Amino acid sequence: TQLLEQSPQFLSIQEGENLTVYCNSSSVFSSLQWYRQEPGEGPVLLVTVVTGGEVKKLKRLTFQFGDARKDSSLHITAAQPGDTGLYLCAGALDSNSGYALNFGKGTSLLVTP
Amino acid sequence: DTGVSQDPRHKITKRGQNVTFRCDPISEHNRLYWYRQTLGQGPEFLTYFQNEAQLEKSRLLSDRFSAERPKGSFSTLEIQRTEQGDSAMYLCASSLETGLGYTFGSGTRLTVV
């Protein structure tokens, strides 16, 4: 069962454009994490959000955790070709589940010059 | 510390053979997780350890899958009598007990022929 629905699944944009990736669920998460994954490599953690309504910024990337801790978004401003990759959201339910992560299917982003 | 290490990076095996993968977590992390990722999907949780105790194993895909962490340090994941459907990327991650600080290894790519 996929707890997290991520959209869009694929995104192809021109350099300089803005984009937003969404991650939605009916479950409440104790924390939500965003990862970026390159082909043949493991996911690399970008950010962890834990408080409802929290907003975190990482250079041109802005992450938001929904007030109810059920959804999140990733916004990239002025995308660059180096942003190309697979973006994954993952939610941890609670300590009872050992904080095992439930992943979305990912958003494959292609930024062309 | 160089992060989470996984060995081997790639494994090609014949159907019916047994395979074993190794994961060395970040030394300060007492939690260790195994995930499986198939093409076009996000990682899927399999099992996790807190120190040497395996606290969740109901998500292992079948009784052909088993994992150990004998001294609370490195871990091994074994797949017996491999099937073509076992072909995937097997990822290991470690974290602090709070669930934060999640770090993934580069994964082991298994191909069953």
pLDDT tens digits along A36-77: 999 999 999 999 999 999 999 999 999 999 999 999 999 999
Using CA atoms, how far residue B35 sits from A11, A33, A84, B98, in Å, is 26, 16, 24, 19
Helix (H, G, I), strand (E, B) or coil at B84: helix
Q: Verify whether the Cβ–Cβ distance A103 to B55 is below 8 Å.
A: no
Query: Which of A41, A48, A103 lies at the smallest CB-CB distance from B43?
Result: A103
- Consecutive 10-residue averages of pLDDT for chain B (113 residues): 90 98 94 94 93 85 92 94 97 86 93 98
B57 interface with A at CB cutoff 8 Å: no
B25 touches chain A (CB under 8 A): no
